[in-house]
């Protein structure tokens, strides 16, 4: 009768078998502690990253809120300074007076192209 | 089994039963707290969630309001309210409570001098007595004060940001814009555009749910849920703030100079119906609207917050003569040269006679002459003898009298008696309505009647909102023809008559050098009150040859000069002049 050669996987398993089963209680304990420690380190590392990320997100939220507030203040400031009320008050403070229609001379220049307002690009 | 083993087994069993009993007790207790008291009774789950889960409402920024040039008329700012935490303070400070509190109060008072130490002391005392976790001690503090408080990092004090509506131009266009009432939970538009478009402007609030740390800071990592807020729509109005400011200032100056009770001015684009400027006096500052709660507009009959151009009706007086002439011209019943004999007064069956001002008799007089002289007799003659009720009243309706325009804001439709109601209507109503008495109209209605004449007989729908930008979805208002009121030919004839009336009649002070104008004055008195208490007005358009703007000005009860020709005409001319300059409209007359 011909004896068949064991397949490679079985051979390897047989080679490993003694190692796996020869670990003693001390070794097992050390391995367990190491494994648990590793898991704990990994967990703490993840937690630390999460906390850092949370802090970073919170900081960015606060920064976004501060920037939004600053943006609204600047929009308000621009709106205020563009307001005719503000411009007229400043013109008056600079000593300018409203034009007297009776002293204004209107000159008509045929075919003159009008100049678009400087802030035309700001029109919504 | 020997006795030793038997005893050991009994001991084991006893210990097992003891442990089992203990476990059962614990399980029972666990069942009580975890199951029975979790969602009812003490509602522990809810209380736990309340402690470590934060549900925050995210305010939607209210939409901005722009003028036609892109300048902001209404925007938002964020400012902080200051809160103290009395209960937390009492927990944190069991020793030296009063001395620590005094230190805290002094620190707060140094940053917030507007809040007295007594008020701060009171906030803590009442808060502690009533078990209040947070008491607000200051509202809308300055950014510098917010920064100082943040730097101080005072315990048991926190800042709560809040969005506020603000109007950079102050009183500019206040009666058109309205304002927003603001409380802790809701902001609502009141009056004007803010009210009319409140739903669109306010947007949709979002919410943010997350677990919090010990300090109450949301943990953004982990289970959280955020529904972002959707900003309100931005509105662009047809108003030009430069012209609005000019008109408001000119009106205010005129009212003060004439020692009048108030006034209204309206500028309409003659071709589109877009409102370029709309001013009322007295007016208010929407940033401090509460300060104006006792002030009245509309001759003291309404709150100052209402827009008088669309909400306050009046008897238009002689400006209505153009409407009477329009009705007769359109039906081919008169021409500008149709003549009648003006004896200064005219009688009608069963009603009071109608007389000209100072009973002046003009003798043979053309229809153009009626407008030049502003002859009541001529207008009443046309209405009664030429038109009659059947040919007159349909034209009042076509010109939009007695009907609201559905323009933005609370609107008065005006009123007048018609033959449909025989119980109240008399011939006298017809003859007086012909020259603007016994009919109530808003300044906008009168302006729109002239707009129809200026625009070749076609009345446009007046509008204030040019476009709505709802988060990128833009809706633009296109000019809409409301109706053909009179024929283009009749409008042309009437424009010529009004031009003559402005040159030779009472609107001479409204003339603008280099430009033709078509305008009619009006001086209305109210029955039952002194005849010198007038409503002086001028309605018309410029340039008459190619109308660009319709202008109506009305001065309520002026005392220095009381007639349309003297009180309102100079203001009309001033506004017209500035419109021509500002929009670079070339003169149509030799300078």
| Tens of pLDDT, residues B486-496 | 999 999 999 99
Chain B residue with the nearest C-alpha to that of A49? B221
Q: Which range among A33-42, A95-104, B164-173 shows the weakest confidence by mean pLDDT?
A: A95-104
Nearest to B76 among A51, A72, A104 (CB): A72
Strand partners, B270: none
Cross-chain Cβ contact A83/B172 below 8 Å: yes
Q: Would the pLDDT of B25 be above 70?
A: yes
Give CA–CA dist B63/A54, Å, rounded: 32
Q: Which of B60, B63, B72 to mutate to test the interface with A (most CBs of A within 10 A)?
A: B72
% of residues, chain B, pLDDT over 70: 98
* CB pairs < 8 Å spanning A and B: 95
Which range of B29-38, B69-78, B100-109 scores highest in mean pLDDT? It is B69-78
pLDDT tier for residue B197 given thresholds of 50, 70 and 90 = very high
Residue in the structure block whose two tokens are 């603007």: B436
Task: State the pLDDT at residue B323.
Answer: 96
Chain B residue with the nearest C-alpha to that of A73? B77
ipTM over 0.85: no
Which range of B212-216, B262-266, B406-410 scores highest in mean pLDDT? It is B262-266
Contacts of B383 (CB under 8 A, 6+ apart): B324, B392, B430, B431, B433, B434
Q: Would the pLDDT of B281 be above 70?
A: yes
Between vectors from CA A65 to CA A61 and to CA A71, what angle results, nearest 5°?
A: 140
Q: Would the pLDDT of A13 be above 70?
A: no
| Mean pLDDT on B452-458 | 96
Task: State the pLDDT at residue A14.
Answer: 66
How many CB atoms are located within 10 Å of the residue B536 CB?
29
Per the CB < 8 A criterion, the answer to whether B499 and B516 are in contact is yes
Query: What is the distance in angstroms between the Cα of B234 and the nearest Cα belonging to chain A?
Result: 9
Q: Would the pLDDT of B372 be above 80?
A: yes
Q: pTM value? A: 0.83
Whether the link from the prior residue into B543 is cis, omega within 30° of 0, is yes
Task: State the pLDDT at residue A122.
Answer: 44
Query: What is the distance in angstroms between the Cα of A35 and the nearest Cα belonging to chain B?
Result: 26
How many CB atoms are located within 10 Å of the residue B547 CB?
24
Could you report the per-residue pLDDT of B498-535, keeping only the tens digit for each?
Answer: 999 999 999 999 999 889 999 999 998 877 777 788 89
Task: State the pLDDT at residue B353.
Answer: 87
% of residues, chain A, pLDDT over 90: 37
Cross-chain Cβ contact B586/A108 below 8 Å: yes
All residues of chain B having their beta carbon less than 8 Å from the beta carbon of residue A97 are none
Contacts of B172 (CB under 8 A, 6+ apart): A83, A84, A85, B73, B241, B244, B245, B248
Could you report the per-residue pLDDT of B321-334, keeping only the tens digit for each?
Answer: 999 999 999 999 99
> 3-state DSSP call for residue B416?
strand
Query: What is the distance in angstroms between the Cα of A123 and the nearest Cα belonging to chain B?
Result: 4
Q: Which helix (H) or strand (E) holds B535?
A: strand B534-542
Cross-chain Cβ contact A106/B587 below 8 Å: yes
pLDDT tier for residue B300 given thresholds of 50, 70 and 90 = confident
Between vectors from CA B89 to CA B85 and to CA B91, what angle results, nearest 5°?
A: 125
Give CA–CA dist B142/B138, Å, rounded: 10
Chain A residue with the nearest C-alpha to that of B169? A83
B242 touches chain A (CB under 8 A): yes
Q: Counting Cβ atoms within 10 Å, is residue A36 exposed (0-12), middle (13-18) or buried (19+)? A: exposed
Give CA–CA dist A85/A81, Å, rounded: 9
Task: State the pLDDT at residue B447.
Answer: 96
Phi, psi of B477 (to 5 degrees): -80, 125
Cross-chain Cβ contact A73/B77 below 8 Å: yes
Within 13 Å of residue B575, how many CA atoms lie on the same side as its CB? Answer: 36
Q: Counting Cβ atoms within 10 Å, is residue B503 exposed (0-12), middle (13-18) or buried (19+)? A: middle
Between vectors from CA A102 to CA A96 and to CA A107, what angle results, nearest 5°?
A: 90
Mean pLDDT of chain B: 90
| Mean pLDDT on B249-261 | 95
Cross-chain Cβ contact B245/A84 below 8 Å: yes
Phi, psi of B260 (to 5 degrees): -95, 170
Please report the sign of the dihedral spanned by the C-alpha atoms of residue B17, residue B22, residue B25, residue B29: negative
Cross-chain Cβ contact A106/B513 below 8 Å: yes
Cross-chain Cβ contact A83/B587 below 8 Å: no
Phi, psi of B121 (to 5 degrees): -60, -45
B215 touches chain A (CB under 8 A): no
Q: Give how far Cα B154 sits from Cα of B82, B104, B159, B318, Å.
A: 11, 7, 11, 70
Cross-chain Cβ contact B70/A69 below 8 Å: no
A46 touches chain B (CB under 8 A): no
Cross-chain Cβ contact B70/A124 below 8 Å: yes
Task: State the pLDDT at residue B18.
Answer: 94
> 3-state DSSP call for residue B516?
coil
B458-460 vs B363-366, strand pairing mode: unpaired
């Amino acid at each position: 009768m011909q004896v068949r050669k064991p397949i490679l996987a079985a051979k390897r398993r047989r080679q490993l078998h003694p190692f796996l089963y020869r670990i003693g209680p001390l070794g097992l304990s050390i391995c367990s502690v190491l494994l648990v420690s590793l898991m704990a380190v990994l967990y703490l590392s993840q937690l630390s990253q999460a906390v850092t990320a949370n802090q970073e997100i919170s900081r960015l939220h606060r920064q976004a809120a501060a920037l939004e507030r600053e943006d609204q203040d600047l929009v308000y400031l621009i709106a205020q300074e563009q307001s005719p009320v503000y411009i007229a008050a400043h013109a008056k403070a600079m000593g300018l007076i409203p034009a007297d229609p009776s002293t204004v001379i209107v000159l008509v220049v045929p075919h003159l192209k009008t100049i678009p307002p400087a802030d035309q690009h700001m029109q919504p | 089994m020997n006795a030793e083993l038997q005893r050991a087994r009994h001991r084991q069993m006893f210990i097992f039963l003891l442990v089992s009993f203990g476990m059962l007790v614990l399980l029972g207790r666990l069942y009580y707290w975890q199951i029975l008291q979790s969602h009812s009774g003490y509602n522990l789950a809810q209380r736990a969630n309340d402690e470590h889960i934060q549900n925050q409402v995210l305010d939607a920024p209210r939409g901005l309001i722009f003028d036609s040039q892109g300048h902001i008329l209404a925007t938002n700012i964020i400012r902080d309210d200051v809160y103290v935490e009395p209960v937390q303070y009492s927990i944190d400070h069991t020793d030296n409570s009063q001395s620590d509190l005094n230190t805290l109060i002094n620190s707060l008072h140094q940053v917030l001098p507007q809040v007295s130490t007594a008020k701060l002391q009171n906030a803590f005392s009442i808060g502690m007595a009533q078990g209040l976790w947070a008491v607000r001690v200051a509202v809308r503090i300055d950014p510098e004060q917010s920064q100082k408080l943040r730097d101080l990092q005072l315990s048991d004090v926190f800042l709560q940001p809040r969005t506020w509506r603000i109007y950079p131009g102050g009183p500019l266009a206040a009666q058109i814009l309205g304002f927003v009432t603001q409380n802790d939970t809701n902001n609502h538009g009141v009056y004007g555009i803010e009210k009319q478009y409140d739903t669109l402007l306010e947007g949709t609030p979002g919410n943010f749910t997350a677990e919090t740390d010990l300090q109450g800071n949301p943990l953004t990592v982990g289970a959280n849920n955020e529904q972002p807020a959707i900003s309100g729509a931005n509105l662009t109005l047809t108003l030009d703030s430069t012209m609005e400011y000019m008109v408001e200032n000119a009106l205010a100056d005129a009212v003060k100079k004439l020692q009048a009770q108030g006034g209204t001015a309206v500028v309409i684009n003659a071709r589109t119906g877009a409102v370029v400027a709309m001013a009322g006096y007295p007016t208010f500052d929407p940033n401090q609207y509460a300060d104006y709660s006792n002030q009245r507009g509309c001759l003291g009959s309404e709150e100052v917050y209402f827009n008088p151009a669309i909400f306050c009706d009046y008897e238009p007086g002689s400006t209505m003569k153009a409407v009477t002439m329009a009705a007769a011209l359109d039906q081919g019943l008169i021409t500008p040269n149709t003549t009648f004999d003006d004896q200064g007064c005219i009688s009608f069956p069963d009603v009071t006679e109608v007389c000209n001002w100072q009973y002046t008799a003009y003798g043979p007089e053309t229809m153009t002459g009626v407008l030049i002289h502003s002859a009541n007799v001529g207008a009443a003659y046309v209405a009664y003898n030429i038109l009659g009720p059947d040919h007159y009243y349909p034209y009042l309706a076509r010109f939009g009298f007695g009907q609201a325009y559905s323009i933005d804001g609370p609107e008065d439709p005006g009123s007048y008696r018609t033959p449909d109601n025989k119980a109240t209507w008399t011939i006298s109503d017809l003859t007086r309505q012909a020259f603007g008495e016994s009919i109530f109209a808003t300044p906008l209605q009168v302006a729109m009647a002239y707009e129809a004449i200026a625009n070749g007989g076609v009345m446009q729908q007046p509008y204030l909102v040019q476009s709505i930008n709802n988060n990128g979805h833009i809706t633009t208002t296109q000019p809409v023809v409301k109706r053909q009121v009179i024929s283009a030919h009749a409008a042309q004839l009437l424009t010529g008559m009004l031009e003559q009336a402005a040159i030779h009649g009472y609107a001479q002070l409204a003339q603008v050098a280099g430009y033709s104008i078509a305008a009619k004055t009006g001086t209305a008195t109210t029955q039952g009150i002194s005849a010198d208490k007038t409503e002086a007005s001028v309605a018309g358009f410029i340039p008459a040859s190619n109308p660009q703007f319709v202008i109506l000005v009305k001065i309520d009860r002026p005392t220095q000069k009381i007639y349309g020709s003297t009180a309102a005409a100079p203001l009309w001319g001033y506004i017209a002049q500035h419109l021509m300059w500002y929009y670079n409209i070339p003169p149509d007359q030799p300078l």
